[in-house]
Structure 1
Amino acid sequence: MSATSSSSVTVLRILCIHGYRQNAQSFREKTGAFRKITKNQAELVFLSAPNLVPPHKTEDGESETENHKDLDERGWWFSREDDYFKAQDKTNCAKGYEKSLEVVKQTFLEKGPFDGVLGFSQGAALVSLLCSLQQLNPDGAIKFDFAILVASFKSNSQQHQYLYETKVTIPTLHVFGETDGVIPKDMSEELLQHYENYSTLQHPGGHFLPSSSPQKKIYIQFLEQQIENKKKKKNRLSD
């Protein structure tokens, strides 16, 4: 049996954590190309954050849209008490974070197990925190074997700083764009010092999950390695 056909027997279940002002459905739609190129390796499960993000305000303080509720824009935490988030904010605020953590835990308990977690932007920053939480408490509800972090960054909320004191040892793939104007690549690169077993995928684009031919090979290679790791783990447990 060929390597390709043998690996297709095992499919990885990956929990997907959306970015700020997204939700499970909108993130699923934005990952269409990624889902297509990884369909033989991964089953993606999408989760919505519990915190509703207020609409953008105009200069006179009015909402930019009358149908804000229809947009269903969500976030994993706020860096300011007035329900606002900016990655660069150095703050004592992480409003909504504990609620998000409970939603993630419940998802692992009710819809797990998951082999890995994928996050984008603020969602990737949350995934980074989940990696550290698991490292500190390997017997907790949140358990996964690898992570893919796209346009991630180190949280500047004081509440999260202790989570960067322990290096993450699970395999991780860090994806970031050279021209990302939302999360500059140096913010993503700064995060790497907190990981021991990481790979990087740097692309020439901006703030999105790249899924063209140059990136496809790297995703498949990374996921195939996780499939092999899963098989070895299963064999060890059955011995």
Structure 2
Amino acid sequence: MTESRSHENPRILCLHGFRNSAKILETEIHKWPESVLEKLDLVYLDGPYPSTGKSGVEGIFDPPYFEWFQGNQDYTEYENFEECITFIEDFMVKNGPFDGFLGFSQGAVLAAALPGMQAEGLVLTKVPKIKSLILISGAKFGGSKLGAPPLAANAFSSPVKCPSLHVIGENDILKLDSIALLDSFVDPIVIHHQEGHTIPRLDDQSLEIVNNFIEKIRNLSTA
């Protein structure tokens, strides 16, 4: 676990991708300019389970690699999902409070479902309400690619109201799933980029969108 920034900024818990790590996500997020990162208090957490197979970033980033939970080949059945949520909540209780989540890939899938699950009173009952989400290469439990774990069965039964920023890659394997996820959120803010399944660099237009979103959630965190 690594940490940066002042507690006066929105405190964001960052969830890495499948068979990635906190260190890898931190490295990738630092593609974004310091003028953005200095406005957020980013805390990076490793998933609770060591990688159970080959990582897609082997040869690019050094191990160890971690997973948040596991699923069967077509993601109709899950293992360790409830344990994963408990792990995250325990960390938030000990190291919070947190204002929101930033997630990439598997971390974004998980983060996207948390506000709805929290609103049902099923998870994160010991921590404050989630105020914001930044979802990079996200997808939806119960969507075209992923079945829903029982705990997340109704996570999107009502539109998710907390402010959300969605980063969608034109060449991302999850592009269509990321677009479909937008329908589950009230007034989602969207950045489109030309890269694939990665944290993109920010062009001038994307930078303006990110800065406006951060200003919005900064006001929420100080309210």
Post-superposition Cα deviations, 1:87-112, rounded to whole Å, max 9, x if no partner, equal xx241x11121121111101110010
In structure 1, what is the equivalent of residue 189 of structure 2? 199
**Residue 226 to residue 53, structure 1, CA distance change in 2 (3 Å):** same
Q: Does 1:140 align with 2:125?
A: yes
Task: Give 5+ residue unaligned stretches, structure 1.
Answer: 1-7, 58-64, 81-85, 234-239
Across the two proteins, how many residue pairs are aligned to each other?
204
3-state DSSP class of the match of 2:177? helix
In structure 2, what is the equivalent of residue 119 of structure 1? 103
Task: Give 5+ residue unaligned stretches, structure 2.
Answer: 1-5
Hey, what's the Cα distance between the residues in 2 that align with 1:122 and 1:9?
27
Kept after mapping to 2: 8 A contact 1:120/1:149: yes
Report the alpha carbon displacement of residue 135 of structure 1 after superposing the two structures with TM. 2.2
Q: What is the aligned counterpart of 1:164 among 150, 156, 159?
A: 156
**Residue 18 to residue 35, structure 1, CA distance change in 2 (3 Å):** farther
* Structure possessing the higher radius of gyration over alpha carbons: 1
Report the AA paired with residue 229 of structure 1: L
Report the AA paired with residue 216 of structure 2: Q
What pairs with 1:1-239 in structure 2 (closer than 5 Å)? 10-34=8-32, 36-56=34-54, 71-80=63-72, 89-91=74-76, 93-137=77-121, 140-142=125-127, 143-155=129-141, 156-159=146-149, 160-181=152-173, 183=174, 185-214=175-204, 215-231=206-222, 233=223
3-state DSSP class of the match of 1:56? coil
Hey, what's the Cα distance between the residues in 2 that align with 1:56 and 1:117?
26
What TM-score do the two structures reach when normalised by structure 2? 0.83
Report the alpha carbon displacement of residue 39 of structure 1 after superposing the two structures with TM. 2.8
Hey, what's the Cα distance between the residues in 1 that align with 2:33 and 2:15?
14
Report the alpha carbon displacement of residue 139 of structure 1 after superposing the two structures with TM. 7.7
Hey, what's the Cα distance between the residues in 2 that align with 1:229 and 1:157?
33
Report the alpha carbon displacement of residue 30 of structure 1 after superposing the two structures with TM. 1.6
Aligned-pair Cα RMSD in Å: 2.3
**Residue 162 to residue 209, structure 1, CA distance change in 2 (3 Å):** same
3-state DSSP class of the match of 1:164? coil
Identity of aligned residues (%): 27
3-state DSSP class of the match of 1:49? coil
Hey, what's the Cα distance between the residues in 2 that align with 1:51 and 1:96?
9
Hey, what's the Cα distance between the residues in 1 that align with 2:110 and 2:124?
19
3-state DSSP class of the match of 2:138? coil
